[in-house]
Amino acid sequence: MVLPHTPPSAPTYDPPSDGRGAEQKLREREQQMDLLEQIAGLGSWEIDLATDGIRWSRELRRIHGVDETTAPRTHSEFMAMVHPDDRATIDAAMSELAAGEPVTVDFRIVRPDGEVRLLQARGKLVPGPDGALTRVIGTSLDVTERRGTELALRASEESYRAIFQGASDAMFLHDMTTGAVLEVNEAACELMGYSADELKTIGLEGLTDADAGYTTERAWGYATRALAGEPQRFEWLSRHKDGSPVWSEMTLRRVTIRGVDRILAMARGINDRKAAEAALRRAYEELERRVAERTAELAASNAALAEEIAERKEAERALSEREEHFRRIIENTSDWVMICDPTGALTYVGPSAERMLGYKPEEVLGFRPPDMTHPDDAQKLVDALRWVAEHPGQVITVPARVRHKDGSWRVFEYMGRTLAPDSFAEGAIAFARDITERTQAEEALARAKEEAERANRAKSEFLSRMSHELRTPMNSILGFGQLLARNELPPTQAKSVQHILKAGRHLLSLINEVLEISRIEAGRERFSLEPVALGPVLGEVLGLVRPLAQQCGVELREGRWPDGAWAQADRQRLAQVLLNLLSNAIKYNRRGGHVRIVAARDDGRWAVRVEDGGSGIPTDRVDQLFTPFARLGAEQTEIEGTGLGLALSKRLCEAMGGGLALESTGPEGSVFRVDLAVAADPMRTFDETGGHAVVQAPHREATLLYVEDNLANLSLVETILLSRPGWRTIPALQGQLGVALAREYVPDVVLLDLHLPDIPGDEVLRRLRADPRTASIPVIVVSADATPASLERLRASGADAYLTKPLDVDEFLRAVERFLPAVRP
């Protein structure tokens, strides 16, 4: 992937004492630049527009497949290497340089060996020695492999999602080590009678019938063979939510999703078939028993021959009745049952064909797949029949559209197999289920989802346009209003100008709050959740509202909060919420009233309460308290407000993992409560864990790559690792640089922060797992985001461990040591 790149500045050095020292320094600097470009896989270049001359770095020559003698000397010679279809792109990019801003462009080159590579170049027009803009400098990066990997991964993920969600068979995705149910589709919920969350909760054990011998251990036997690469097909017995038995025909196979191996289980309900098989088996057992009895009697006495014959006929009659019984079962099933010969011609059609398609069975006998199937689907059925012939005894499922007698098309799902378990000679049997309504419902759901996404995009576009359209005139209103206020105006005009400014600022505040609420709801507002000392924040906001309290004649009483109280929050957003609550408590108070803020531990969380001595909130309007634009009657007073403050504050608290609620209200005042997660003092944690000797690790020398943009955090980890002299730390301040260094050095362990300046840590992890060179490197995520959702998401993406800030030194060292190769004895 192309990186916006600024070549590293040369290191500072003292002026050399003679010419040879300067040359040595210059060579060292050139070697350092070559090494940096090699590490980053990034070549640099320079074009002299006056002479058309071009200079390439060593890394850029390697990327283009040329050496110092064969590299182009002019820009025109370089253009001959550009793919003919992309030369206009290069010319357009050169024209854009005149604007003075850096320009990035993707294009293809044809190397001397004939290989086509995709490059991304970034350049900027700079002045030459005479000050004229006659030089262009820039960098180029080979992104061929990365682009191919991204396209392949995207196609794979889309294919998996379509197959899984659109499958008519029940599908379960299991963890390959614990057997836990990770995902299920709607067909699985329909088969078992549970919701998706219930199926995930009951897990593998809930999908077994141990009393009947279908135990978890037996299931793991199949899973073990599937994990070894051998797909498993078998029948399984479990229990429906209502307690009834559920027989399924199961298929297990090992799949890899986002770089993680899983077990995919597919099930198709066969209760009807099992019932028919059981009845047939009992009939045959009964027949065999009777035949055996009669044979023994025949051997004992010829006199009983007539009686034996009569009994045999009775058995045959019973068998005939049984066969008739089974035929009625088949003919009355809800599916369309059919049998075809090896050519595909129908030799038996169940009577349900008339109910489902309007044809009498005799009308379609002898038909083949193309005769009734949609032209676009006929080949699928031909291919399915060929597959059945090549895989005797195995079941295949395929959907296809079938023409109803009235001319309409119905969607059917066929499930077929050979009649004989080991041969196609007797033909095949198929059960077809009408899934037209389900297909239509799925299509309607997809359209509804698309409409919802389109509406969300329209909302975002509207807010963006309104932000511009409203702020532009507001800039003029407030600007000219302030200029008028600076002039000496008659009292009436001065008062009118102040009204304009007051109304303009009120409208601007309203615009800002509406947009901020929209950003939070859309998930675009970024929060920096970290340990925050409550005492300084509470003292700070009290100081900010003190002038307002004096102006309104409200007493700010001394607050209470414990020393050393730390909460997990975004400090700026927390201060914003508290300022809003305190401002409301003051503005809507009575003259001579009071306001106080207190903090205490409550049910394992910090509860920050803002108490006021006002007249309370009307009972009939409490339910409108956090509704945007609802001012609860205050709009009829002179108190300024937008009705958005509480709605915005509630959303901010929830985004920080906490909450905001009205705890109590009445004639004596109201109490608003802010709940926050408890956090540990980061300095105390470091002192407690780092204040004693650390046991030396029984490992050889190791290389650790730390991808982190915070220099303080880098310094902390380097200080911790002083106890491991054999461990070397490679820092990377950007995510993309971290990926490049991992490919270059292949470290023993990668330490990864989530919030990076260029790309998210999730993307860094994805790229490491997608590259064969780095896929097996252990990755330990080190982040201040301690939410369970983040932990689960990162582990599913391939993270080997997850440590939260502030770090526990012993836990950190143990986590690293766990992934290092042990010293051989």
CA 280 to mean position of chain CA atoms = 50
**For the chain, percent of residues with pLDDT exceeding 90:** 19
**Per-residue pLDDT tens over the stretch 91-135:** 998 889 888 899 999 999 999 999 999 999 999 999 888 888 889
CA dist 574 → 253, 542, 545, 570, 654 (Å): 50, 13, 15, 6, 11
Instruction: Measure the N-to-C terminal CA separation of the chain; round to a whole number of Å.
Output: 43
Degrees to nearest 5, angle at CA 538 with 660 and 659: 15
Q: How confident is the model at residue 241 (pLDDT cuts 50, 70, 90)?
A: very high
What's the token pair of residue 819? 């992934």
Q: Give dist(CA 541, CA 489) in Å, integer.
A: 37
Counting residues of the chain whose pLDDT is more than 70, the rounded percentage is 79
Pairing relationship of beta strands 135-142 and 170-175 according to DSSP bridges: unpaired
Structure tokens at 335: 């599916």
**Which CATH class name applies to 441-522?**
mainly alpha
- Kindly state the tokens that stand for 383: 């291919």
Query: Which residue, among 382, 377, 385, has the nearest Cα to 402 in the 3D structure?
Result: 377
Dihedral sign, Cα of residue 281, residue 286, residue 292, residue 295: negative
Greatest mean pLDDT range, 28-32, 73-77, 693-697: 73-77
Per-domain residue ranges of the chain: 19-142, 149-269, 274-331, 336-434, 441-522, 530-678, 694-818
Q: Are 75 and 54 in contact (CB under 8 A)?
A: yes
Class of domain 530-678: alpha beta
**Rounded mean pLDDT of 430-441?**
86
- Judge whether 149-269 and 336-434 match in fold: yes
Tell me the C-alpha distance between 306 and 262, whole Å.
Answer: 65
Whether the bond into 112 is cis, omega within 30 of 0: no
Contact 713, 731 (CB under 8 A): no
Q: Please state the rounded mean pLDDT for residues 758-763.
A: 87
| DSSP-assigned beta bridge partners for residue 346 | 340
Helix 735-745 and helix 19-40: axis angle, to 10°?
90
- Output the pLDDT for position 155: 62
Task: Report the interhelical angle of 305-331 vs 271-300 (nearest 10°).
Answer: 170
Map residue 287 onto helix, strand or coil: helix
DSSP string computed for 294-314: HHHHHHH-GGGHHHHHHHHHH
Model confidence pLDDT, tens digit, residues 449-482: 788 777 766 665 565 555 545 655 665 566 667 6
Contact (Cβ atoms closer than 8 angstroms) between residue 65 and residue 115: yes
Q: For residues 740-749, give the mean pLDDT.
A: 90
Confidence of residue 35 (pLDDT cuts 50, 70, 90): confident
Helices (H), strands (E): how many in the chain? 25, 27
Query: How much is the average pLDDT of 149-159?
Result: 67
Task: Give the orientation angle of helix 761-770 with respect to helix 788-797, to 10 degrees.
Answer: 20
What does R_g of the chain's alpha carbons equal in angstroms? 38
Whether the predicted pLDDT of 554 surpasses 50: yes
pLDDT of residue 467: 53
The reported pLDDT for the residue numbered 162 is: 67
Q: What is the pLDDT of residue 246?
A: 92
| Distance separating alpha carbons of residues 556 and 541, to the nearest angstrom | 12
Q: How confident is the model at residue 584 (pLDDT cuts 50, 70, 90)?
A: confident
Q: Are 29 and 10 in contact (CB under 8 A)?
A: yes
How far, CA to CA in Å, does 643 sit from each of 370, 545, 582, 628, 640?
67, 19, 15, 6, 9
CATH class as words, domain 149-269: alpha beta
For 336-434, which CATH class?
alpha beta
Give the pLDDT band of residue 665 (cuts 50, 70, 90): confident
Using the predicted structure, report yes or no on whether residue 606 has a pLDDT greater than 60: yes
Residue range 616-637, pLDDT digits in tens = 787 766 776 776 654 444 444 5
Phi, psi values for residue 122, rounded to 5°: -135, 125
pLDDT of residue 394: 92
Tell me which residue of 798, 775, 738, 735 sits closest to 149, measured CA to CA: 775
Higher pLDDT, 27 or 47: 47
Query: What was the pLDDT predicted at 557?
Result: 85
State the Cα–Cα distance between residues 693 and 214, nearest whole angstrom: 53
Tokens of 400: 């296809």
Q: Between residues 159 and 421, which one has the greater pLDDT?
A: 421
Phi and psi torsions of 375, nearest 5°: -55, -35
What's the mean pLDDT when you consider all of the chain? 80
Q: H or E element: which one contains 143?
A: none
Helices of type H across 729-777? 735-745, 761-770
- Can you tell me the distance from the alpha carbon of 118 to that of 147, in angstroms, rounded to the nearest whole number? 9
- CATH superfamily of the 694-818 domain: Response regulator (3.40.50.2300)
pLDDT tens digits, 326-351: 666 666 666 788 899 998 899 888 88
Residue 631 confidence (pLDDT):
45
Q: What's the DSSP call for residue 722?
A: G
Give per-residue pLDDT as tens, 211-227. 888 998 998 889 889 88
Residue 462 is encoded by which pair of tokens? 């509207």
What CATH number should be reported for the domain whose range is 19-142? 3.30.450.20
Q: Are 48 and 27 in contact (CB under 8 A)?
A: no
Q: What is the pLDDT of residue 451?
A: 80
Q: Give pLDDT tens digits for 686-742.
A: 455 444 444 444 556 888 999 988 776 787 788 778 778 788 888 888 888 889 899
Query: How much is the pLDDT for 635?
Result: 46
Q: What is the DSSP letter of 692?
A: S
Residue pair 383/366 in contact by the 8 Å Cβ criterion: no
Burial of 667 (0-12, 13-18, 19+ CB in 10 A): exposed
Q: Measure Cα distances from 109 to 40, 45, 74, 81 in Å.
A: 20, 15, 16, 6
Tokens 């023409």 belong to 403
Whether the pLDDT of residue 530 is over 60: the answer is yes
Asked if the model's pLDDT at residue 4 lies above 70, the reply is: no
Q: What is the pLDDT of residue 824?
A: 47
Tokens 């108490």: give the residue. Answer: 611
Which strand (E) or helix (H) includes residue 530?
strand 530-533
Confidence of residue 503 (pLDDT cuts 50, 70, 90): low
0.75 surpassed by pTM: no
